[in-house]
Amino acid sequence: MRFKIDGKTWRRRVVNGLRDKTGKKLYGDCLHSKRVIRVVRGQDERDELDTDLHEALHAIFPQLNEDAIWNAAGDLTGLLFDKLQYRRFRP
């Protein structure tokens, strides 16, 4: 999937698994140099939305620290998924 952030084209990739440099399991990551967001396959619907929001926030606000991103993504997920009952359309 392709989408725009700040007028630049980014890609979203679904992958089978991700790990950080220390070997810790990740659910997604944001590769600024390639303008790619990767999301791990197999997450439940709420967690996938949270991961997408988390990584999109990293893309939009690269200057923010992980705690700020974590909190903002969690708040947005709570609003969209829990309160507004946003669900991804899957034909």
- Which pLDDT belongs to residue 17? 95
Tokens of 10: 């980014």
How many CB atoms within 10 Å of residue 89? 4
Tokens of 81: 């998924």
What string of pLDDT tens digits covers the 91 residues of the chain? 999 999 999 999 999 999 999 999 999 999 999 999 999 999 999 999 999 999 999 999 999 999 999 999 999 999 999 999 999 877 7
> Distance between CA 75 and CA 70 in Å, rounded?
9
Tokens of 27: 């659910």
